[in-house]
Amino acid sequence: MVENAVENVTPIRVALLGAGTVGSATARLIVEQQEELAQRIGRPLELVGVACLDPSEVNVPWIDKSLLTTDTAGLCTKADIVIELIGGTTAAYTFVMKAIESGASVVTANKALIAKYGPEIYAAAEAHHVDFYFEAAVAGAIPIVRPLRESMVGDKITSIMGIVNGTTNYILDEMTTKGLDFDVALKDAQAKGYAEADPTGDIEGEDAANKAAIMSSLAFHTDVRIDDVAVEGITQITADDIAAATAENKVIKLLAVCENTEAGISTRVYPALIPNEHPLASVHGSFNAVFVKAEAADDLMFYGRGAGGAPTASAVVGDVVTEARHITHGCVGPVIPMYANLPKAPLGVGKSAFAVRFVIHDKPGVLAAIAEEFAKRGLSINGVNQDLKPTLHEPGYSGELQQLRLVTHLCEESTLREAVEAVKQLDFTTDEVTILRVLD
């Protein structure tokens, strides 16, 4: 028989803002695991209210109708822990700050909020002696925030490279394994619930950029915001790019990359070619993975479900339990100091090898002219591949088009992009260009 671990019967009041997919899954875990969670905390949790825009639309059996309210601001002042799951930045920031100023600790999954206002919220929580937890904001159920925030604070992190958006990973994986075009893979992702009706935030890299900003701030103890992140999406990736990668025993992944470089903190999101032997190459479907390098710990990899109602709710409730334990014992967790104030690398600075695909007119002298533009800027070409595509057409040109793929040696990105723009001005090239970094 297990001894009852509940030492204090006074409940810890929990307010939930948002009853959507993640919010309702969070409420379910809190309600259905109430006794188990009380044993783990030492006090019971009491869900005192659920804020939503339209209570009539919330119809799940584990949320008592009497708890539903549209008075979100009022609910923020009536709890010990406020869970913010409404999304967005403006209203969410107002409610989170109101909760903190009212003496409540806050748990959120809102990556956009943290990427825009994180340091202000960290400072407010410290000033009011409450906690702010957000494990679910990066990579869903995968525990990556707490390792960066607490477990690795005795080490020096040098870089983070991760697949942190399940939608784009699913699309690229389907293109790789089934030979689908981008548009077909996107529609499939939407049909299976892996992509929103408006997938812009995912496929243009914005979602991953928010997460990259958070990871960079935590890893390097420096204020990194969403505007500090250079972002490229996957909309220009074609089936031909995928085929070329496969032929070279590589895969294309959308990566969030955070590095402490000589030029400063570099935080970027971009599609890249990675070899099949790299640990991130084996991350399939909608799964996420984050690869961390540190001076003492060396290489670490975190892998799992990066999105979805239940996985994300698992991370949210984990933070709620952690905070409830702090309240039970009359303490708060560690603060998030932004003490380093390291410089940020200019967005166009950084070296890499690149694979560049041009669509060109099929006639003599084209390759020489392109090579000349690269040579003018000191860019060394490592490999060339030409592939005739008779099905491609360009208005005003009756001849056939070819795809020309160049792979460079290591070079400055700004110089590479300057050369690409020069080539695009030549009268035998089209506007269709794909630029991919090549990672060893």
**Which amino acid belongs to residue 358?**
F
**Alpha carbon distance 213, 193 (integer Å):** 26
**Alpha carbon distance 429, 423 (integer Å):** 7
**Alpha carbon distance 290, 145 (integer Å):** 11
With a CB cutoff of 8 Å and minimum separation 6, the contacts of 87 are: 18, 20, 110, 112
**Alpha carbon distance 333, 146 (integer Å):** 11
Start-to-end CA span in the chain (Å): 55
> What are the Cα distances from residue 29, in Å, to 54, 179, 314, 433?
22, 39, 8, 48
Long-range CB pairs of 3-8 (<8 Å, 24+ gap) are: 4/39, 5/38, 5/39, 5/40, 5/42, 6/38, 6/39, 6/42, 6/43, 6/44, 7/42, 7/43, 7/328, 8/42, 8/43, 8/328
Backbone phi, psi, residue 5, to 5°: -95, 0
What residues form the annotated binding site for NADPH?
111
**Alpha carbon distance 426, 132 (integer Å):** 54
Helices (H) and strands (E) counted in the chain, each on its own, are 14, 17
**Alpha carbon distance 305, 375 (integer Å):** 45
What residues form the annotated binding site?
17-24, 111, 196
What residues form the annotated binding site for L-homoserine?
196
With a CB cutoff of 8 Å and minimum separation 6, the contacts of 198 are: none
Q: Which of 211, 250, 253, 344 is catalytic?
A: 211
**Alpha carbon distance 406, 398 (integer Å):** 25
**Which amino acid belongs to residue 422?**
A
**Alpha carbon distance 120, 132 (integer Å):** 11
Relative to beta strand 105-108, strand 81-84 is parallel
354: β partners: 437
Relative to beta strand 45-51, strand 12-17 is parallel
Smallest Cα–Cα separation from 29: which of 73, 66, 75, 60? Answer: 60
Task: Tell me whether residue 192 is one of the annotated catalytic residues.
Answer: no
With a CB cutoff of 8 Å and minimum separation 6, the contacts of 3 are: none
Active site residues: 211
